[in-house]
């Protein structure tokens, strides 16, 4: 049966809403799917094809691209920082927190003398609270703080992996790996987090470090 002209016109005005999307209701605007019809250059289509190998469907590629642009343009309302990928989170940190990139060789030269000021006077607390929508660290559980560190520091490319292992009675074992192959790098960051958790967050902390890995044991005092 053909669609009446009036119905077709109303559908166009609505932006081609896909009203048959499972699990949605007329008032559930967020989950309503929209049809998108456009043409793009062949080179752009080739890039989308390449990206779809990593991100899945074309629609998912477009969603990730829009998310990244929204972050870059500092339009984060509705974005959950914990769900952002590393690139998007780094863009958001750079735009909202004025973060800057420092080469790893340069960074090593900065920490060569293990400056006490860098361990005690830094913005770790502020950026953790920023990640959790400016909740005070006093309101956050240890695991929430660790998740923020995991997301932020790996997005900034300081570490390759930041693994959180929850132990009995609220204690945690953290395993951190990196590509620097320099024990000074491991020592700096292990000490940095030891100071953060012991002096500022009042936890008991033990550390162990090697050239490409370091460990933290964190528990309540």
Whole-model pTM above 0.75? no
Domain spans of the chain?
A: 5-97, 104-220
- Which one has a higher pLDDT value, 199 or 66? 199
DSSP 161: E
Of 122, 160, 162, which is closest to residue 146 (Cα–Cα)? 162
Instruction: Dump pLDDT digits (tens) for 4-26.
Output: 444 433 443 333 334 344 444 44
Residue 212 has pLDDT above 90, yes or no: yes
120, 195 in Cβ contact below 8 A?
Answer: yes
Residue 116: per-residue pLDDT: 81
The CATH architecture annotation of domain 104-220 reads 2-Layer Sandwich (3.30)
Mean pLDDT across the chain: 78
Beta strands in the chain (DSSP E): 17-18, 33-34, 161-166, 172-177, 203-210, 213-220
Dihedral (CA of 174, 177, 181, 182) sign: negative
User: If you average pLDDT over each of 11-15, 73-77, 132-136, 144-148, which comes out highest?
Assistant: 144-148
Residues 6+ positions from 96 with CB-CB distance below 8 Å: 74, 76, 130
């Amino acid at each position: 049966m053909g669609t009446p002209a009036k119905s077709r016109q109303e559908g166009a005005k609505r932006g081609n809403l896909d009203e048959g999307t499972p699990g949605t209701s007329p008032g559930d605007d967020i989950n309503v799917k929209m049809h998108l019809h456009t043409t793009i250059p062949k080179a752009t289509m080739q890039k989308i094809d390449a990206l779809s190998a990593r991100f899945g469907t074309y629609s998912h590629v477009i969603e990730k691209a829009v998310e990244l642009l929204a972050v870059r343009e500092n339009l984060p309302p509705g974005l959950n920082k914990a769900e952002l990928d590393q690139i998007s989170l780094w863009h958001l940190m750079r735009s909202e927190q004025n973060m800057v990139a420092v080469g790893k060789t340069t960074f090593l030269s900065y920490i060569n003398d293990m400056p006490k000021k860098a361990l005690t006077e830094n913005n770790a607390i502020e950026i953790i609270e920023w990640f959790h929508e400016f909740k005070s660290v006093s309101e956050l559980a240890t695991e929430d703080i660790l998740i923020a560190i995991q997301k932020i520091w790996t997005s900034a490319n300081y570490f390759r992996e930041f693994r959180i292992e929850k132990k009995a009675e609220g204690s945690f074992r953290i395993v951190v790996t990196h590509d620097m192959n320099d024990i000074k790098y491991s020592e700096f960051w292990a000490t940095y987090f030891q100071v953060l958790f012991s002096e500022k967050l009042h936890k008991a902390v033990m550390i162990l470090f090697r050239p490409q890995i370091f460990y933290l044991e964190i528990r309540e005092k």
